[in-house]
C-alpha cells in the first residue's frame, strides 16, 4: 500500500520519515517532490570497469543551467536528505521530467527500510536538455512493509551508500567483487 499525503504527514510527525529541507508545497496526494541539487558528476574514464572504483569528477551546475548530452551518464543528487525508518521509499521521475526525455534512474529507484541519505540520480537523456539546480526532478513514494525488518539498511555493516553526502556518489559495485576468490559476492 502506498502512503497518502495524510499518512506521509503523520509519519513525518512521528519521525519515521524525515525530509530535510521539508516544504509543505512539495507534498503531493501520495508522494513528495524532490529537487536537483547543485552538484553533478561524470565518470572520468571512457571505459567503466565494474570491478574497479571508477573515478568521477564533480562540478556545480552554473546559474544559467547545464546542458545534458545523450552521450554521457550524469550522476546527480537530490537537495533533500531523507530518512525512511519504517517504509520502503521509491524514487520515480516526475512526468514533466520524463516528457523532456530525462531518465533519473537506470535501476536504482527503490530504497531500503532504514535508508538515510540524499539520493544519487543516474541521469540520462534522449536528446540535449538544459537542467538547473533546484528544479523538481523526482518524487518519493512510500510503501508499507509487511513484518519487521531484521536489519535496516542504516544498521548493516555491508551498506555501501550510508555515508551522508551532498554530492553524487559513484558506483560501489567493486565492493561486491572478492578479488582473492575471483568471484562476485
123 sits in the region (left: phi over 0; alpha: psi -120 to 50; else beta) called beta
For 11, phi then psi, to 5°, come to -70, -35
**What is the helix, strand, coil percentage profile of the chain, to 5?**
10, 40, 50
Annotation marks residue 122 as catalytic: yes
Active-site residue identified among 25, 80, 92, 122? 122
Burial class (CB in 10 A: 0-12, 13-18, 19+), 81: middle
* Residue 170 DSSP SS3: coil
The residues carrying an active-site annotation are 122
Amino acid at each position: 500500500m502506498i502512503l497518502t499525503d495524510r499518512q506521509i504527514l503523520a509519519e513525518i510527525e512521528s519521525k519515521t520519515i524525515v525530509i530535510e529541507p521539508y516544504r509543505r508545497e512539495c507534498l503531493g496526494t501520495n508522494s513528495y517532490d524532490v529537487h536537483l541539487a547543485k552538484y553533478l558528476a561524470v565518470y572520468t574514464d571512457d571505459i567503466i570497469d565494474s570491478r574497479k572504483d571508477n573515478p568521477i569528477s564533480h562540478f556545480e551546475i552554473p546559474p544559467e543551467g547545464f546542458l545534458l548530452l545523450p552521450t554521457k551518464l550524469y550522476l546527480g543528487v537530490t537537495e533533500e536528505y531523507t530518512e525512511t525508518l519504517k517504509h520502503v521509499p521509491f524514487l520515480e521521475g516526475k512526468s514533466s521530467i520524463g516528457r523532456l526525455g530525462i531518465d533519473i534512474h537506470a535501476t536504482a529507484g527503490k530504497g531500503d527500510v532504514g535508508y538515510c541519505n540524499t539520493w544519487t540520480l543516474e541521469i540520462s537523456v534522449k536528446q540535449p536538455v538544459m537542467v538547473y539546480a533546484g528544479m523538481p526532478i523526482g518524487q518519493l513514494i512510500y510503501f508499507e512493509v509487511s513484518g519487521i525488518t531484521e536489519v535496516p539498511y542504516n544498521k548493516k555493516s555491508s551498506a555501501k551508500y550510508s555515508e551522508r553526502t551532498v554530492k553524487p556518489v559513484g558506483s560501489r559495485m567493486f565492493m561486491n567483487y572478492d578479488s582473492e576468490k575471483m568471484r562476485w559476492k
